[in-house]
Amino acid sequence: MFRFENPIFLYLLLLIPLLALVRYLYQRDRKAKIKRFGDPDLLQTMMSGVSKYRPAVKFWLLEAALALFIVMMARPQFGSRIHREKRQGIEAMICMDISNSMLAEDVVPSRLDKSKMLMENLVDHFDSDKVGLVVYAGDAFVQMPITADYVSAKMFMQNINPSLIAAQGTDIATAIDLAMKSFTQDEKAGKAIILITDGEDHEGQAMAAAQAAKEKGIRVFILGIGTSKGAPIPMPDGHYLTDRSGETVMTRLNEDMCKEIAAAGSGTYIHVDNTSNAQEMLDDEILKMQKGEVSTVVYSDYDEQFQAVGIIALLLLIIETVVLERRRDWQNRIKLFRRGTAAALLLVVATAASAQTDRQYVRMGNQLYRQGKFDKAELEYKKALSKNENNPQALYNMGLVALQQQKDSDAVACFNKAAKVEKNPLRRAMAYHNIGVIMQTHQDYGQAIEAYKEALRNNPKDNETRYNLALCQRQKKDNKGGGGQNQQNQDKQDQNKDKQKDQQDKKQDQQQNQQQQQQPRNNQMSKENAERLLDAAVQQEKNTQQRLQKAMQQSPRRSLDKNW
């Protein structure tokens, strides 16, 4: 399918017939003046250097060039793929826990960041499905209605943080109820609620909500994130979250409750840890669900074609400049406007217009890559590199093709070359990220870490790269044999840091002992102070109990006021 992106410029084509009309009137007036001056045939023989056809050729060349420039301004585009299809898919509502407990780091880099990565990868595997997002803590609200716009879904997920909800806590039942109301009325499509939680339900009634979803034909999948050992909750000020008594809060995964909710909702419980097993299990469960017709769409992919039009226009201007209105002696021998010469000239113009550039080869390779024809796509990218060996897009795509063909070493070489010649930092970061993924797959954690660091230098906002970097650093520490001299140096640095901490702790203990020794040993004068402090503490405890009782009477909905 062919179209113009800015068709309003095509109105300028009205200048072409207008200019032709002006020239026609000018030529008619000129012929009339020549007839008044003398016999036209006789005058023609007297002016042997004047060409009869050259001025007309120059004029029409300029007309054609002007028309092509106007067409170029209208941005002609050609649809490389257009098809209509009935899309079969499911509807999935993602309920993501954003309470403070999701900031715990027992899962690298944190429970919340791991959840984001998991859901972004899930959306990447969606093809004809619809997805929505509900965030919840002590309350719940719809962050994104159900849609097929996967780009927007991933953008919403990246901006999630606990500050979105002021009421902290964990109310799973409210999240499930809100998700049930967010589906469309299509009864044929399978519906699923994917609930991410650490299993701390402070409100109860989660099983009843899951059973209500089951009765409506909605499956409830529970992704339990965290460990049973638990971890403290880091806060932005650098300290850990404490409860009302001043004790550090340890948040733990309640797997038993997660399994009960999944069973009540006719779904599956999946434990999320530092591996990719949870992702694979979730993808398998989603594929098993019944798919229904969710929408009918028209998909088109348009490519810009103004480059070829511009090349032809420039060639016409060059020819118009070369052609002179008057003949020269050496030009009389050429006889430029014979039939054979004109045909050869048209052939040259057509050949120049059809000449492929490196960008056009890259576009052709991209189309073949989308169709899964990796060997043919590789040939097109090689043709592009033969035109321009420093084309970063061709080098990067060559790396992707090599990666699909399991040629990891060739892929790394292509990504390295692409990163060196690429000027866009975001694209350069993508190349280094891919190198890190390949090295991580081969358990070469040292080079993977360096590649991920280079990617973050070019794109510090890439959460996926940051997560992979943290995971590689942990795996490198766990793998004592995989790192060689670099690993030994890292171990020595860690040992030196531990020694410095021990020395600091010893100094603090010595200072405390000296202070205790300097205190007076005569305790007779401190008994009265101790009794006063004890009375004040008892009175403060009574006041605290009274405030707690009043708070419980005013808010009977929550038995415990937890902010995690």
User: Pairing mode, if any, of strands 130-136 and 91-97?
Assistant: parallel
Q: Looking at residue 205, what is its pLDDT?
A: 83
Task: Using DSSP, state whether 336 is helix, strand or coil.
Answer: coil
Over 70: is that where the pLDDT of 203 sits? no
Report the phi/psi class of residue 407: left, alpha or beta, with left for phi > 0 and alpha for psi in -120 to 50. Answer: beta
Distance (Å) of CA 326 to CA 38, 47, 54, 529 = 21, 10, 8, 119
Beta bridge partners of 94: 133, 194
Q: Which range among 135-149, 354-368, 389-403, 546-560 shows the weakest confidence by mean pLDDT? A: 546-560
Give the residue ranges of DSSP H helices in 126-205: 150-158, 172-180
The model's confidence at residue 539, banded by pLDDT at 50, 70 and 90, is low
The model's confidence at residue 126, banded by pLDDT at 50, 70 and 90, is confident
Alpha-carbon distance 373 to 516, whole Å? 79
Over 70: is that where the pLDDT of 340 sits? no
Q: Looking at residue 518, what is its pLDDT?
A: 42
Burial class (CB in 10 A: 0-12, 13-18, 19+), 531: exposed
Q: Looking at residue 292, what is its pLDDT?
A: 62
Radius of gyration over alpha carbons of the chain, in Å? 37
Average pLDDT over residues 175-198: 87
Q: Looking at residue 505, what is its pLDDT?
A: 52
Size of the chain in residues? 564
Query: What's this model's pTM, rounded to 2 decimal places?
Result: 0.45
Alpha-carbon distance 277 to 271, whole Å? 9
Alpha-carbon distance 253 to 269, whole Å? 13
* Locus of tokens 């101790």: 530
Beta bridge partners of 432: none
The model's confidence at residue 19, banded by pLDDT at 50, 70 and 90, is very high
Q: In Å, how far from its chain's centre is CA 229?
A: 34
Q: Which two tokens stand for residue 297?
A: 């769409």
User: Which of 195, 199, 207 lies closest to 255 in space, CA to CA?
Assistant: 199
Average pLDDT over residues 539-564: 51
Q: Which two tokens stand for residue 146?
A: 């159900």
Alpha-carbon distance 485 to 361, whole Å? 45
Q: Which range among 43-57, 63-77, 181-195, 266-280 shows the weakest confidence by mean pLDDT? A: 43-57
Over 70: is that where the pLDDT of 300 sits? no
Over 60: is that where the pLDDT of 137 sits? yes
Q: Looking at residue 521, what is its pLDDT?
A: 40
Instruction: Give every CB contact of residue 499 below 8 A, 6+ residues apart in sequence.
Output: none
Alpha-carbon distance 113 to 469, whole Å? 13
Q: What does the DSSP assignment read for 102-118?
A: GG--SSSS-HHHHHHHH
Q: Which range among 252-261, 271-280, 447-456 shows the weakest confidence by mean pLDDT? A: 271-280
Q: In Å, how far from its chain's centre is CA 45?
A: 74
Q: Looking at residue 354, what is its pLDDT?
A: 45
In single-letter form, the type of residue at position 331 comes to Q
pLDDT digits (tens, 9 = 90+) for 34-88: 777 767 666 666 666 667 778 888 899 999 999 999 999 998 887 655 445 556 7
Beta bridge partners of 248: 242
Burial class (CB in 10 A: 0-12, 13-18, 19+), 189: buried
Average pLDDT, the chain: 77
Q: Looking at residue 5, what is its pLDDT?
A: 83
Bigger pLDDT: 79 vs 360: 360
Q: Looking at residue 244, what is its pLDDT?
A: 80
Burial class (CB in 10 A: 0-12, 13-18, 19+), 119: buried
Q: Looking at residue 96, what is its pLDDT?
A: 92
Q: Looking at residue 65, what is its pLDDT?
A: 92
In single-letter form, the type of residue at position 26 comes to Y
CB atoms within 10 A of CB 179: 29
User: Which of 157, 35, 147 lies closest to 95 in space, CA to CA?
Assistant: 157
Which of 184-188, 224-228, 440-444 has maximum average pLDDT?
224-228
Alpha-carbon distance 307 to 352, whole Å? 12
Bigger pLDDT: 433 vs 188: 433
Q: SS3 for 193-222, per residue?
A: EEEEECCCCCCCCHHHHHHHHHHCCEEEEE
The model's confidence at residue 279, banded by pLDDT at 50, 70 and 90, is confident
Determine contact, residues 138/171, Cβ cutoff 8 Å.
Answer: yes
In single-letter form, the type of residue at position 152 comes to S
